Amino acid sequence: MTADTAIAAHGGQTLRRSTRYRTLRRFTRHRLAMFGLVVILLLVLACAVGPSLVPFDQFQLNMRARFREPFAGAHLLGTDELGRDMLARLLMAGRISLTIGFCAMVIAVTVGTVVGTVAGFYGGAIGTVLMRFVDAVLCFPTIFLLLTLAALVSPGIVTITLIIALTAWMEVARVVQGQIRALRERDFAVAAEAMGAPDRWIMFKELLPNAVAPIVVAATLIIARAILLESYVSYLGYGIQPPVASWGNMLEKAQQYLTTAPWLALLPGLMITLAVSSFNFLGDGLRDALDPRSELS
Amino acid sequence: MTASPPPVLEVDGLVKHFPIGSGLFGRSRDKVRAVDGVSFSVAKGEVLGLVGESGSGKTTVGRTVLRLDTPTDGAIRFLGNDITHLTRSQLRPFRRQMQLVFQDPFSSLNPRMRVDRIVGAPLAIHEPGMAAAERTQRVEDALAMVGLPRNSGERFPHEFSGGQRQRIGIARALMLRPELLVADEPVSALDVSIQAQVVKLLLDVRAKLGLTILFIAHDLAVVGHVSDRVAVMYLGKLVEIADTRTLFRDPRHPYTEALFSAAPVPDPTIRRQRIVLTGDIPSPINPPSGCAFRTRCRYALPACAAEVPPLREVAKGHLKACLRDDLELVPWQDAPRDPARPPAVATPAP
């Protein structure tokens, strides 16, 4: 018996290492996901420390240096129609866009997880009411809901974040509800019930940790969508208000100079594309890596 | 008998029907009669074996008795308390005295929890004020009691083999020193060599802690080894119940005989006449009239279809639900026959 357990203990440790290792390997082998991860890290780093390294302030006007082209002279990425440094503005806008994306994701995931867990755990009347509510909210076309709300409340970072979160939590709720419902039937949930565990214990200690993988994937994809939504709304003028820069409102200002100064539109457009597709790639990679079924392939 | 303490578990006319499909207004028309009028009691320190083939309702009995399911009808008394209709919160104080061991050692442990937290969970729930050091100590003691290394708690369930995981499940079930343990096919998912270890472990802890066990299984050899008394279930009903020795030597119900005959003999040279039950167990949605076993019984008479044979006492402590008292049934393998009864005559082939 002791020899048997000793062997199993040894075997067990290799097993643990190898399952984690395999997941990690599946992820690191996913080229697009690694590309996404690197780009995101670079973007975050640049937006966090970059503005203090650029010798210009984002609000500093310079009427004698308007429409300077990129890669020529003191302004690395050129200047805009008011002579403000494009690099400084892009990075400051990145701060705002990324922050909004991240915060909206946190709120959406929290709300979605709680609603989904409660609906999946209790089922019956509570579950039905909650999920029908989710379906009802899903019925609204996101963009119009977003624009209506943005027109009604005064735009700002906090309100935009909340509004985006409001349109994004439903899919987390649906994913989590499905997971929790399936997990509830498992024997370890019955065991917790037989122990006399309170509902909170079963929901948050037993079931939820087993549903983390799909939540992480959904979270990543929500960040991508939140950044995109923020750009939409700002582009249409209901989002972040100038002079505060966001990638969306930079794009909006740039459209009238599209022929004369195309970099004004290209640069923020490129940033949005880069950030959104990186988060999407990351989400895809995580989904593939965390899905145990892909073990076979 | 009146002076003796109440039985640990008393089940009286237990019925559990599961509605299937729901009609337009949530009304369902059909139901699965998983358990259809089962009565038995388990005395303190006793091991009652519950056998029957798949679909006979034995697992549902186990789950309903622990009130993990609400019975459709009947009464469940635990230590003299009627727990049939208690709500979840009212049940909580009883939960620490009744525990469950599962069949599948892989799905019964939370894959995301470390073993020390799994085994310590009953303590965390029922004695939240306990000091961390004491809890660790009790978890280690419990792991040691079931024959696992004391430091097993640092690892995750998937790092253990099936037999070890079953030991973890037993350690968790015994953490709060329960009065009653329902073991739902605790060894049927394990290798034969490991089965013996786990059965021995259960018997050891039973002796040590004075446990009362409801042992659900389909393997007669295991049940015969573990149980003091055995109850045989068929299609949601008890068909025979007696103490183990009597039942194995002198079965009185044709279904018990058929189960005995189906059990493998650990000697390949022995040739015996097998009683092969034809067909599957009938549907519990629409059971046969009268005796539910009559459709597969080789001794069935026309009268068997008329009414449900009641469970009646044929000898002291030996109950059966069969009309026919004139049968000579083959005992368990080569168990010596009860001398009080005449020797077996060759049973007619069906």
Nearest CA in chain A to B151: A9
What does the domain layout of chain B look like in residue ranges?
113-174
Among left, alpha and beta (phi > 0; psi -120 to 50; other), residue A168 is alpha
Contact between chains at A190 and B113 (C-beta distance less than 8 A): no
Residues β-bridged to residue B82: B77
Q: What are the φ and ψ backbone dihedral angles of B221, each rounded to 5 degrees?
A: -60, -45
Binning chain A into helix, strand and coil, the percentages to the nearest 5 are 80, 0, 20
A12 chain-B contacts, CB cut-off 8 A: 155, 158-160
A11 chain-B contacts, CB cut-off 8 A: 159
C-alpha to C-alpha distance for B130 and B118, rounded to whole angstroms: 16
Residues β-bridged to residue B234: B237
Cβ-Cβ contacts under 8 Å between A and B: the total is 87
Which of A13, A201, A210 minimises the CB distance to B125? A201
Residues β-bridged to residue B175: none
Q: What are the φ and ψ backbone dihedral angles of B115, each rounded to 5 degrees?
A: -60, -35
Using alpha carbons, select from A178, A209, A247, A106 the residue that is nearest to residue B118.
Answer: A209
Using alpha carbons, select from A204, A178, A182 the residue that is nearest to residue A192.
Answer: A204
B66 chain-A contacts, CB cut-off 8 A: 194
Q: What are the φ and ψ backbone dihedral angles of B19, each rounded to 5 degrees?
A: -70, 145
Q: Are A67 and A79 in contact (CB under 8 A)?
A: yes
Nearest CA in chain B to A201: B125
Contact between chains at A195 and B122 (C-beta distance less than 8 A): yes
| Helix boundaries (H) for A153-186 | 157-166, 169-184
User: Class of A42-57+74-295 per CATH?
Assistant: mainly alpha
pLDDT values of chain B reduced to their tens digit, one per residue, 350 residues: 455 678 899 999 999 998 876 555 555 567 888 898 899 999 999 999 999 888 888 899 999 999 998 899 999 999 989 999 998 889 988 998 999 999 988 889 998 888 999 999 999 999 888 899 999 999 999 999 999 998 888 888 888 988 999 999 999 999 999 999 999 998 888 888 888 889 999 999 999 988 999 999 988 888 988 999 999 999 989 999 999 999 998 899 999 988 888 877 777 776 666 777 777 778 888 888 888 888 888 888 888 888 888 888 988 889 999 888 887 888 887 655 555 544 444 444 44
What does the domain layout of chain A look like in residue ranges?
42-57+74-295
Q: 3-class DSSP state for residue B77? A: strand
C-alpha to C-alpha distance for A12 and A7, rounded to whole angstroms: 8
Q: Are B129 and B215 in contact (CB under 8 A)?
A: no
A187 chain-B contacts, CB cut-off 8 A: 102, 104, 107-108
Contact between chains at A15 and B159 (C-beta distance less than 8 A): yes
Residues β-bridged to residue B192: none
Contact between chains at B164 and A206 (C-beta distance less than 8 A): no
DSSP B147: T
Contact between chains at A194 and B159 (C-beta distance less than 8 A): no
CA distance B109 to chain A (A): 5
HEC-encoded secondary structure of B228-242:
CEEEEEECCEEEEEE
Examine the predicted complex and report whether its ipTM is higher than 0.90.
no
Which of B92, B152, B169 minimises the CB distance to A196? B92
